[in-house]
Amino acid sequence: MRNQFSPLVLLLLSSAASAGLFSSKLSDSDVAGIHKVVVLSCLGDTLYVDSIGLTVFNNKGFQASVPQWNMDASITEHLTEMMRLRGRWPAEGLNIGFDQLGWHRFGGYSGFSHEGRRRMVDQARAQGADALLVICREENPHDSHVNAGFGIYSHNLLGKEHQSLLASYYVMILGVPSDKVLAQQHPDPTLPQSTALPMKASWEQYSPEEQAILESELKKFIYSRLDQTLETMNALRPPS
């Protein structure tokens, strides 16, 4: 698991309401003070397929828009169900449009504007929540070749191709009454040797069956990592 924090995180912390370094897990007092959470997923609908060679001239890949996967809606549905089964509090999706989040790029990174974050907190408060659970795509500070979002990532090491599923994001729990980051973690963005699908030059070269397999593999990977992360953040009850 990555422990360093991106400039996006530092920007979030710059708010006066977020003074003080956040923890990687919720404290017992945080848990006791929460009675309902709302969920916001912002992984987007772009698939990244990248093969990184020995030199920049050997790099290849493509991006594809996959809105039909409903990735963010699927993640929200999975998390609300997981919170129902094992969560410490009830959960529901945050009723806000992506266009209200003020998404923009800054310093090579992307994220919510301060105004967008205020809208998120205001809407969470309007829905009667005490905390906001955010899953947001992020650039990888350790590897500039790793895209923010999801897909397939392949790199050459000692003449051998190593292929992984990719999901680069952070998980943040934001206190709604305090507008403060209560806990945040950055799951490892790759799952090595996790797909047998071949690297191809374009999305159109994948058959419908292969596209469906990749969608299933990525969602299972993301769900599993999210469940593990929420458990270590103290947001889930121990398994019975």
Pinpoint the alpha helices (H) of 4-70.
7-13, 28-33
pLDDT of residue 8: 44
pLDDT of residue 158: 65
Closest to 235 measured CA to CA, from 17, 3, 28, 64: 28
pLDDT band at 18 (very low <50, low <70, confident <90, very high): very low
- Tokens standing for 43? 């992984």
- Which residues are paired to 93 by β-bridges? 39
CA–CA gap between residue 149 and residue 103 (Å, rounded): 14
Whether 50 contacts 145, CB under 8 Å: yes
Distances (CA, A) of 173 to 47, 82, 127, 142, 180: 26, 16, 16, 23, 9
**pTM of this structure:** 0.85
pLDDT tens per residue, range 160-217: 777 889 999 999 999 997 889 999 999 988 888 778 788 889 999 999 999 999 999 9
